[in-house]
Chains A and B, each alone.
Chain A
Amino acid sequence: MLKRVIGGAVVVLLLAAAAYAAFFIAPTDSRQGVIYRIIFLHVPSAWTGLVAFFICFVANIAYVLKRTPRWDWLGVSCAEVGLVFTSVVLVTGPIWAHPVWGIWWTWDARLTSTFVLWLLYVAYLMLRTLVEEPERRALLSALFGIFAFIDVPLVFGSIRWWRTQHPQPVIMGEPGSGLDPVMLRVLLFSWLPMLALMTLLILARYRLEAMREDFELVRRESEAA
């Protein structure tokens, strides 16, 4: 219990520090004004989502090979948490785009790829709801998770190539455009609380899944008796 409180406190502190840095340390962008600061939420969320999905991928492989339920609990926890962070990316994109460009959405390469990523992991969760038996559910979703994750670089790569054929307005600046060094440092620093928050959420979700399994076990055994 104490560990959880400390963990929570650490995350809150890191978030506060990052917020402070985002608002007061990073210099104002000359062209975009205050709204550009959403980049410190948007970009680290994207990176964090990918980290969560990567852990999910590892957990999926581990489950297929070992078949211990813990890997399945870890997999679903990471997928859900990853989906949350990915949703943040999809929401902050338009929030940034509208005041600056006047449009809500642009089929910018990264945003589009993120949308597909989001759809892939929504499909992963949907698959899980459609399989009743726990071992089957774990195996099938692990296998889909593996295919989904190896697809991710192909999705990003193909859409980026497509964009070179059909240029679109780019949110957050071209990959090549240099970032002010202070901004870059704040950006990297903002990633830390995101990762900490991700870890906390994954652990909490994992615990929930473990409890749910235990509960199911007891329920079925009492029904069978």
Chain B
Amino acid sequence: MSLLSNTTALLGKELRTEFRSRELLMTTVIFILIVMVLFSFTFDPSSAESRRFGAGLLWLAFLFAASLMLQPCFLREQTNDTLSALRLSVSDPFAILLAKLAANTLFLLVTELLMLPVFSILYNVPVAKIFGQLLLVFFLGSFGVSIAGTALSAISAQARMRELLLPLLLLPLLTPILVVSTEVTAGLLDAEPFVRWKGVGFLATFDVVFLTALWLFGEYLLEE
């Protein structure tokens, strides 16, 4: 009944549910693909230009995809009031949030990694050598997006116009992630790749700060 065991059990549930239907993953992947194609019309997609704009394109696509993908997070728990069942069963309500944010991070990361080779091919930007570093940035950035996104999804699920509200709340809040992740990724996509370590540290800071805030105030997000 510890936090860890509760979280693992719930994470198992989230993953099992998603892999059974795969709706979230599929629709998110297709959405990112659409965004990539559309973006190709907004600038001249030569390799040099792509290196300059590619990072921004990727992260904008990820952010928009996330703000859609996070919608069902708590809405699903409303259909049969399963959220109440969870609240009654777990020893620490933070387990519910932790499991959801772990699942969301994983889903985001999977879609991002699926899209990376596509981006590489469509825009002629080689990524094989810097894959490990890209993975690091994608992880830290996606983790931050998930933490904020899970919290805000819990909030918007209780309001009207929730489909519009979630992006409205989430996107300004995630500005630091967008700014820094883009910069670090741009550095990696450069003809002479380099890691902006300051940026990586910043992303880690964002993650720690928001995770702490979620830990402190999370239970109130789940209140009835």
Contact = CB atoms under 8 A, between A and B. Distances in A.
Indicate whether A and B interact.
yes
Interface stretch (B6-14, B105-113, B130-138, B166-174): B166-174
Given A64-B220, A120-B172, A154 B165 contact: no
B158 A151 contact: no
A155 B175 contact: yes
B173 A131 contact: no
B148 interface: yes
B161 A130 contact: yes
A88 interface: no
A6 B184 CA distance: 55
A122 to B, nearest CB: 8
B209 interface: yes
Contact of A161 (B148, B160, B168, B202): B202
Contacts of B220: 64, 139, 143
Contacts of A165: 183, 196
B158 A144 contact: no
A116 B176 CA distance: 10
Interface in A97-150: 116, 119-120, 123, 126-127, 130-132, 136, 139-140, 143-144, 146-148, 150
Contacts of B217: 64, 143, 146
Contacts of B176: 151, 154-155, 157-159
A215 interface: no
Contacts of A23: none
B188 interface: no
B145 interface: no
A130 B179 contact: no
A143 B210 CA distance: 12
Contacts of B221: 143
Contacts of B155: 127, 140, 143-144
Nearest to A126: B168
Interface in B205-221: 205-206, 209-210, 213, 217, 220-221
Contact of B202 (A120, A140, A150, A158): A158
Given A123-B169, A146-B217, A147-B152, A136 B158 contact: yes
A90 B155 CA distance: 29
A20 interface: no
Interface string B195-207: 0101100100110
Interface in B88-126: none
B175 A127 contact: no
Q: For the complex, would chain B's binding face be called helix, strand, loop or mixed by DSSP majority?
A: helix
B201 to A, nearest CB: 10
B223 interface: yes
A155 B155 CA distance: 21
B151 interface: yes
B168 A131 contact: no
A64 B199 CA distance: 33
A139 B169 contact: no
A162 B179 contact: yes
Contacts of B148: 147
Contact of A144 (B169, B180, B205): B169
Interface string A43-54: 000000000000
A224 B59 CA distance: 51
Interface of A: 64, 116, 119-120, 123, 126-127, 130-132, 136, 139-140, 143-144, 146-148, 150-151, 154-155, 157-159, 161-162, 165
Interface of B: 148, 151-152, 155-156, 158-161, 165, 168-169, 172-173, 175-176, 179-180, 183, 196, 198-199, 202, 205-206, 209-210, 213, 217, 220-221, 223
8 contacts: A116-B172, A130-B160, A147-B173, A147-B213, A154-B205, A158-B179, A159-B175, A161-B198
Q: Which 10 A-B pairs have the closest CB atoms?
A: A158-B176, A119-B172, A130-B159, A154-B176, A158-B179, A130-B160, A120-B172, A131-B159, A162-B179, A116-B175
